[in-house]
Structure formats: C-alpha cells, structure tokens
C-alpha cells in the first residue's frame, strides 16, 4: 500500500473512530456465544465472520453518516473542528458514499445470515442513522445512541438462533443504559457549545449537575440488570468476576470525571469504557463454556 493510500485509509479509520468498536463489539460477541454456550446452538466460523462484518459495516455507515450530517456543527466547535470533514481531509460526498457502501454491505451480509435479521436490517439502519438528527430535537438523543449500540448483542443472538429471548434482551438493556450514561458524561465537555447551538444534549438543557446525576442513575441501573441477567442464566464464578470488574470500572469512571473536575472525560469515555466492555465480555463468554 502506497503512502498516500495508507494516509487515506487512516483518515477513514479516524472518520469512523474504528477504535471505538470496543464499546459494542464485545457485547455482540456476548450475544453470539450466549446462543452457542448457553442455548447450545452449533458454532460456525462463517456465521461469526458474517456477524462481525455486520457490526463493522453498520457502525461504519452510522459514524460516517453522522460526520456528514454534523459537518457544519463540527466546524464551529473548537473541539471537533479538526475532524476529517471540517478539516478537508475527507470530502462530505466521499464520506456519504462510504456510508452508503457500508450500509449495502451490511444488508447483503444479513441476507446470508437468516431471514429474520435480513428483514430487520432496514430497522437497524433507521435507528443508527437516524440518531444523527436527534440531538437537534430531543434530550433523548443519548438513549437513541444507546439503543443503536444495544442492537449488537440481540442482533448477534438472532443471527445464531433466529428467535427472540429475554436473556439477550437484558444484555441489550445493559448496553442502552451503559452507553446512554457515558454519552451524557462525554457531552458535558460540549455543554456551552451545545447551548449556543441550541442542541438538546442533557448537559445543555438540564445543566452539568443534573446530567451527572442522570448518568449515575443510569449506570446504577446497569449494575442491577447485570445482576438480573447473571441470576437468570444461573451464572458461575467467572460471570460474577466479570460483573464485579465491570461495576468497579463504572464507579471508577465517575470518580475520574468528578475528581478531575471533568478534565479527564476523554480518558473515562474511551479507555475505561473500552476496557470494561472487553473484560466483561471475556468473563461472560468463558462462563458460558465452563458453567453452562
């Protein structure tokens, strides 16, 4: 790969924040291996690769579409003015084409999984693409983002089983609450800008103090759902170790944000949340094989 092509490749990885796949991807693997380990469905490498392809392409489509729709807002925000589209590294039209190509690949991949996920693929795209407009109209934008990422575990489970079940839906609920909470924390750094732009983030509408309280409440609910899911599947020691680590990192995330007077939000957002999802997934998946 030539130097220029590699540079373009890096720009597109940065455009979609590929490193942030550590938020939803581990939960997709939880849904996949939950179906195999706990519900005793047959493992398939082909199916696993198709699920991973769906995850990557759906997220690529959503993130690039978000960058296109937010390009003028990003340009006015000092924190985001250096992003690929406002800075001119990627043209909006090219980013939109990239989003469409990934959406098409996503739908084609679902066609090769099973009929249910194929029929649901437009609904999934509507949610994850529609999120890009919600911040302009409603404080529920954080929950919509959480809903979009929560499709990972239930989508992976449906890919294996072709049917609904309460347990993967609980893991999806964990993602909704967890992501919504840390997205509220993340948006605190744009509180003043969002007010000026009349954007409806919770910190901008309700203030920093109430936003922090809502994030804490959502993450407290996460812990309750994690416990409920563990009890429902009769989890062993490995699950509870993972649950304890996940909970500890959630608490530490809030400590870091508060103790640093909101200056270390990026560390809490990217590093701690990525680490917590990976560790939780590892222990949950291992639990499904050794205790189910």
In this prediction, residue 148 carries a pLDDT of: 95
- Give the separation between CA 179 and CA 66, rounded to whole angstroms: 17
**What separation in angstroms does the CA of 185 have from each of 17, 23, 40?**
18, 15, 39
Q: How much of the chain exceeds pLDDT 70, in percent? A: 98
pLDDT of residue 119: 97
What are the pLDDT digits (tens) for 16-73?
787 778 888 999 999 999 999 989 999 999 999 999 999 999 999 999 999 999 999 9
For residue 99, pLDDT beyond 90: yes
Residues 196-248: tens digit of each pLDDT: 999 999 999 999 999 999 999 999 999 999 999 999 998 899 999 999 999 99
Looking at residue 272, what DSSP letter applies? I
Q: What is the pLDDT of residue 290?
A: 62
Angle made by CA atoms 27, 32, 34, in degrees to the nearest 5? 90
pLDDT tens by residue, 165-179 = 999 999 999 999 999
Residue 291: its pLDDT value, please? 58
The answer for residues whose C-beta is within 8 angstroms of residue 95's C-beta and 6 or more apart is 15, 64, 65, 67, 68, 84, 85
Task: Assign 1 a pLDDT band (cuts: 50, 70, 90).
Answer: low
Residue 34: partners with Cβ closer than 8 Å, 6 or more residues away: 153, 157, 167, 168, 171, 233, 284, 288
How far from chain centre, in Å, is Cα 134? 16
Question: What domains appear along the chain, each with residue ranges and CATH number?
Answer: 21-290 (1.10.357.140)
């Amino acid at each position: 790969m030539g130097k220029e092509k590699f540079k373009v490749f890096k720009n597109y990885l940065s455009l979609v924040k590929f490193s942030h796949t550590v938020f939803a991807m581990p939960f997709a693997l939880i849904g996949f291996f939950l179906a195999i380990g706990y519900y005793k469905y047959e493992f398939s490498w082909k199916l696993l690769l198709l699920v991973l392809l769906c995850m990557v392409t759906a997220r690529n489509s959503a993130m690039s579409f978000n960058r296109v729709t937010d390009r003028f807002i990003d340009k006015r925000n000092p924190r985001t003015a250096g992003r690929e589209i406002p800075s001119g590294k990627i043209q909006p039209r090219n980013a939109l084409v990239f989003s469409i190509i990934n959406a098409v690949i996503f739908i084609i991949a679902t066609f090769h999984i099973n009929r249910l996920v194929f029929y649901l693929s437009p609904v999934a795209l509507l949610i994850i693409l529609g999120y890009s407009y919600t911040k302009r109209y409603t404080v529920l934008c954080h929950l919509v983002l959480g809903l979009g990422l929560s499709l990972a575990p239930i989508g992976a489970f449906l890919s294996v089983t072709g049917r609904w079940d309460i347990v993967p839906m609980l893991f999806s609920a964990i993602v909704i609450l967890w992501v919504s909470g840390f997205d509220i924390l993340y948006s605190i750094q744009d509180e003043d800008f969002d007010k000026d732009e009349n954007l409806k983030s919770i910190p901008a509408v309700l203030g920093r103090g109430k936003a922090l309280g809502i994030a804490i409440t959502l993450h407290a609910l996460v812990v309750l759902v994690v416990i409920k899911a563990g009890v429902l599947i009769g989890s062993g020691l490995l699950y509870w170790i993972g649950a304890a680590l996940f909970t500890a990192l959630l608490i530490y995330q809030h400590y870091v944000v508060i103790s640093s007077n909101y200056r270390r939000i990026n560390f809490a957002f990217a590093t701690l949340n990525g680490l917590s999802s990976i560790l939780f997934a590892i222990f949950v998946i291992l639990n499904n094989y050794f205790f189910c």
